[in-house]
Amino acid sequence: MSIEIIVLAAGQGKRMHSALPKVLHRLAGKPLLAHVLAAARTLAPRRVIVVHGHGGAEVRAAIGDAGVEWVDQAEQLGTGHAVMQALPRVSPDAEVLVLYGDVPLVRADTLRRLADAARGGLAILTAEAPDPAGYGRIVRSSGGRVERIVEHKDATPEELAIREVNVGFLAAGAAPLGQWLARLKNRNAQREYYLTDVVAHAVAEGVAVNAVKAAEWQEVTGINSRHDLAILERAYQNAAARRLLEAGVALADLWRLDVRGELECGRDVSIDVNCVFEGSVRLGDGVRIGPNCVLRDVSVAAGSEILAFSLLENAEVGARCRIGPYARLRPGAMLAEEVHIGNFVEVKASRFGAGSKANHLAYIGDAEVGSRVNIGAGTITCNYDGAAKHRTVIEDDCFIGSDATLVAPVRLAKGSYIGAGSTISKDTPAGELTVARARQITVPRWKPPRKG
């Protein structure tokens, strides 16, 4: 039987106090719904249907249509009603999994267990809640069989004492699920059609109801408030930190790390506090990351060090480089081995050859920098004329004095020396000293201005 998945993502999320649809709030850099869809796709489902409502156009735009079918729940009349909107899209022979778009940490192996447990019956996902308030309780018979699920607002005092709760996910064949949904009533405190009521209908027909218990509560916790989101963010990041520690990465503090994508580390990597890794980041053997750094879609080769408060984005750093502190590598920065990019230096769309250095207060944009080049403090490449970008070429073994201005397009030939304070707008000859400054004069008998 083929699996087809329905993801319920129509809730407004009033307790988030935000104009953003709840399922688009981000955890580890991705929308909550994107986490659920990623777990769902590991089951190789034949179809994934997302039921949206509040902010539907925004949700669709953020997630895209690749591999997803969208269904609008114009009126939010409960979870059962939401599944009713999607069921006409489901194949009659399918096994249906119903997931929730605001439960981001659910694991793929848990979904597989849920799907396996539904064969020939109905399977629901449960967990032992540390605080079950607000959740539907699992009511079992004296023999331990699941009889029904009672919502918190409809529960008796005895039922409220139950700690095993329904987390909303279920799996069943499409045909019986459709029959149970057709019998739902909205005779409850919320005047809604509860998906959970299908359990009682299944039990009444003698259908086996299998409860699959999640290993950890946080895996099945839904997001209903900013507080919930913050708690799960830390849970996600702490789990990521534990995996890094187990792989041999030295973390200064496992509570002060944020991985918002994929972080791949070699041997003997060390990461200081308050670092953020976004997109795809690869750190080679022996790389050291100082405190308060942000790396986004970056590769750093073996033996390099990124010092404090540096920002690297869409860049490649070669072996044994030294970056920072307070350095910025913008998209297109590519550094060969043993390059030094120092404090308050910005590099954009530029290549640096082996052993080159820009140690202080420089901007190098749209440039080709050769090997063993020294760029002095205050140097800038003037790469933009107001309409187009132009490139600066600095060949091997050049020495650029402090406060030089290189007006692109321009080429500094191999071994050029540029005098401090020069504005270079013409190509320079190899191995020569080029100075381009205004003539210095002293004004005789000059008097400073006086007040009044």
Active site members = 360
DSSP state of 15: G
All residues at 6 or more sequence positions from 226 whose CB lies less than 8 Å from its CB, including other chains: 16, 17
Task: Quickly list DSSP for 165-228.
Answer: EEEEEEEEEHHHHHHHHHT----STT----GGGHHHHHHHTT--EEEEEPS-GGGGPPP-SHHH
Question: 3-class SS at 75?
Answer: coil
**How many angstroms from the chain centroid is the CA of residue 359?**
32
**SS3 letters across 425-447:** CCCECCCCEECCCCCCCCCCCCC
Q: What are the percentages of helix, strand and coil residues in the chain, rounded to 5?
A: 20, 35, 45
Query: For 80-184, where are the E strands, in sequence order?
Result: 95-100, 122-128, 136-140, 146-150, 164-173
- Phi/psi-derived region of residue 371, left when phi > 0, alpha when psi is between -120 and 50, beta in every other case: beta
Cβ–Cβ < 8 Å for 148, 237 = no
430: phi then psi, degrees, rounded to nearest 5:
-65, 140
Dmax (CA) of the chain = 110
Nearest residue to 53 (alpha-carbon basis) of 76, 33, 37, 69: 76
- List the structure tokens of 385: 């004329």
Cβ–Cβ < 8 Å for 168, 198 = no
Cα–Cα distance for residue pair 251/270, rounded to 1 Å:
6
Question: Which stretch of DSSP H or E encloses residue 317?
Answer: strand 311-317
Cα–Cα distance for residue pair 155/143, rounded to 1 Å:
21
Task: Quickly list DSSP for 237-289.
Answer: HHHHHHHHHHTT-EES-TTSEEEEEEEEE-TT-EE-TTEEEEEEEEE-TT-EE
Kindly report the number of other CB atoms within 10 A of residue 274's CB atom: 17
